[in-house]
C-alpha cells in the first residue's frame, strides 16, 4: 500500500485528532475524558525523548505508513 503521507505526519495528525476528540468528549459527554488529552500529551512527550510510539508501530504494521526517510530514498 502506498501513502503520500509519511509515518511522522500520520502520527502528528492522529495525535491532533485525538486531542480534539478528547476536548469534544470532555465538553459534551463527561469531564473525565480530559484524561484522554493527558494520555496523548504524555505519550507525545515521552516519544520525543525515547523515540517509542505505539501509534507509529500500529500505523506502520497495519496501514503501511513509512518514515519520511524511507519515502525519500525511493
What mean pLDDT comes out for the span 10-21? 96
pLDDT above 90 for 74:
no
The verdict on residue 1 lying in a domain is no
The verdict on residue 47 lying in a domain is yes
The verdict on residue 39 lying in a domain is yes
Query: CA angle 17-61-57, nearest 5°?
Result: 55
The verdict on residue 29 lying in a domain is yes
Residue 40: how many CB atoms within 10 A of its CB? 19
The verdict on residue 45 lying in a domain is yes
List the grid coordinates of 51. 523515540
> How many domains is the chain built from?
1
Cα separation, 48 vs 29, in Å, equals 31
pLDDT above 90 for 17:
yes
pLDDT of residue 69: 87
Residue 12, domain extent: 7-73
The verdict on residue 2 lying in a domain is no
Cα dihedral across residues 48, 49, 53, 59: positive or negative: positive
pTM for this structure?
0.85
Q: How distant, in Å, are the alpha carbons of 12, 32, 37, 60 from that of 25? A: 20, 9, 10, 28
Amino acid at each position: 500500500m502506498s501513502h503520500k503521507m509519511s509515518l511522522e505526519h500520520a502520527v502528528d495528525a492522529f495525535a491532533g485528532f485525538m486531542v480534539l476528540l478528547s476536548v469534544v468528549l470532555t465538553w459534551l459527554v463527561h469531564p473525565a475524558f480530559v484524561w484522554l488529552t493527558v494520555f496523548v500529551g504524555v505519550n507525545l512527550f515521552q516519544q520525543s525523548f525515547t523515540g517509542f510510539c505505539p501509534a507509529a508501530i500500529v500505523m506502520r504494521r497495519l496501514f503501511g505508513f513509512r518514515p519520511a526517510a524511507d519515502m525519500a530514498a525511493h
